[in-house]
Amino acid sequence: MMQREVQDHLSELQAMCRVATNPALRDQLAEVDAEQDIFVRFTQALPRHDCLVTIKESVLELFKLYHHSHGMFQLDYQKLNRAFETLMDNTDAYFHAKEEDRDLAAKRENLRKIEGLIPFLEQAAHLASDDHMDAYPTFSRQLSAQISERRAPWNHIAEDLLRAKVQAEAEISTRL
């Protein structure tokens, strides 16, 4: 049903393109109502109405836009149909590829997190070994400030780092 609806819309768009096409370039099998033939009507009106000359280029651009839009929609529709045919022919391969895509995306995300975590751990180790860090509360404040640094390479995992810090502090503060 949806396929029929899309085909109907494409047919309507094609009909609009037909009436916006130079008659010499039209498909000869396609009939165009003289009342609706905007290309012919516009070209006939141009010599009679001087004011139309100023909008001639804009109107021709709109005609080109009709044709371009129809062509792009038609290509997209054909690609969609081919994709559906492939899916219907081999659903197992499609879903296997989809699952592989999900796995790869998850692995990329984990790698990105690790890439942010490494420089953070290096900075945190440097902070922990600083002689001025004589008390845990001072270290905790400094670490929070470091995590929240705006342009840090770990900025994309800052929320996870803060959550882990809060959980670790809760764990430490409740030990007997």
Kindly report whether the global pTM for this prediction surpasses the value 0.75: no
Between the two ends of the chain, the Cα-to-Cα distance in Å is 68
Coarse DSSP helix, strand, coil percentages of the chain, rounded to the nearest 5 percent: 80, 0, 20
Amino acid at 157: I
Token duo for residue 176 = 């007997």
Q: pLDDT tens per residue, the chain (176 residues)?
A: 888 898 888 888 878 877 888 777 777 666 777 778 888 888 899 999 999 999 999 998 988 888 888 788 888 888 888 888 877 888 887 788 788 888 888 999 999 999 999 999 999 998 888 877 677 788 888 999 999 998 999 999 999 999 999 998 888 878 75
Return the domain boundaries, the chain.
2-89, 95-173
Separation of alpha carbons 131 and 137, rounded Å: 14
Amino acid at 163: R
Token duo for residue 77 = 């529709």
